[in-house]
Amino acid sequence: MEFIWDGLKQAVDLLAHGDHDILVVVETTLQVAFWSTILALALGLPAGLALGLGRFRGRRVGLAVANSGMGLPPVVVGLVVALLLFRGAPLGELNLLYTLKGVIVAQTLLALPLVAALTAAAVQAVPTGLLEQARAFGASRAQVAGLALREARVGVLAATIAAMGSAFAEVGAVVLVGGNIEGETQTLASAVLVRVSAGDYGRAIALGTILLGLIMILAAGLTFAQQHERRGPLGRAS
């Protein structure tokens, strides 16, 4: 157990002194999480609204696909994206393989079903009478969609946090699409894997501590929002 204690002490020292290599990995991770979440929201929110509010043929199939997408194996998604980005492949001319942009694309594809499915579920939980009342007063589709999003805001926040959490914890797609290049495409999760394989437990523990801290911040944010919602107008009325 002594090597674990030594690793913890080394981790504390690295974090206290703001180790440059660790800061670079943290910056890369935050970039991947931020941009992949933004892109997933831009695509997933409209899709989730359509699946949650729409009445069209194929809607159930769309919901099934979105729900199934939440369980996609990240390594399979990474493999498919990498194969499409290889030189000579259909998307090879984009030169995204082994780049940060390529990692963001792969992570967006992983986060998209999460956002769409969770948004659809949250919107479906909004009282139908409220939306029908809005329509009766002449609200447009965009206004009804805006009302649904506002009423389902905690669910949408959960979808956002799920997308970011997925980006923080992802390894397979990062390694396959980004190559896990140190200083360029290496993220916290993939860096931990490399450091453990190299026997550098102190740095692995430091990276893992930061990763765990980011996940805990996300979880705390969602919990705060949920509790704040419960203490809203309905909570005060009771």
Query: How would residue 33 be classed by pLDDT, with cut points 50, 70 and 90?
Result: very high
CATH number at residue 112: 1.10.3720.10
User: What is the pTM assigned to this prediction?
Assistant: 0.87
Query: How would residue 238 be classed by pLDDT, with cut points 50, 70 and 90?
Result: very low
- Kindly state whether residue 153 falls inside one of the protein's structural domains: yes
Give the mean model confidence (pLDDT) for residues 192-216: 88
What pLDDT score was predicted for residue 106?
A: 95
Q: What is the pLDDT of residues 60-98, one digit of tens each?
A: 899 999 999 898 899 999 999 999 999 889 999 999 999
Residue closest to 47 by CA, chosen among 30, 26, 65, 71: 65
Q: Percent of the chain, pLDDT > 90?
A: 53
Give the mean model confidence (pLDDT) for residues 153-171: 91
Number of compact structural domains in the chain: 1
What pLDDT score was predicted for residue 124?
A: 92
What pLDDT score was predicted for residue 184?
A: 93
Residue closest to 153 by CA, chosen among 225, 73, 216: 225
- Kindly state whether residue 11 falls inside one of the protein's structural domains: yes
What pLDDT score was predicted for residue 1?
A: 62
- Kindly state whether residue 238 falls inside one of the protein's structural domains: no
- Kindly state whether residue 236 falls inside one of the protein's structural domains: no
What pLDDT score was predicted for residue 78?
A: 93
Q: Tell me the two tokens of residue 151.
A: 């009423």
In sequence order, the 6+-apart residues with CB closer than 8 A to the CB of 12 are: 206
- Kindly state whether residue 139 falls inside one of the protein's structural domains: yes
- Kindly state whether residue 233 falls inside one of the protein's structural domains: no
> Mean pLDDT over all residues of the chain?
88
Q: What residues make up the domain containing 134?
A: 2-226
What pLDDT score was predicted for residue 236?
A: 45
Rounded-to-integer distance, Cα 34 and Cα 94, Å: 22
Rounded-to-integer distance, Cα 193 and Cα 25, Å: 13
Q: What is the pLDDT of residues 89-101, one digit of tens each?
A: 999 999 999 999 9
- Kindly state whether residue 235 falls inside one of the protein's structural domains: no
Among left, alpha and beta (phi > 0; psi -120 to 50; other), residue 169 is alpha
- Kindly state whether residue 40 falls inside one of the protein's structural domains: yes
First to last CA, the chain: 53
Q: What is the dihedral of CA 31, 36, 41, 43, to 10 degrees?
A: 140
In sequence order, the 6+-apart residues with CB closer than 8 A to the CB of 181 are: 98
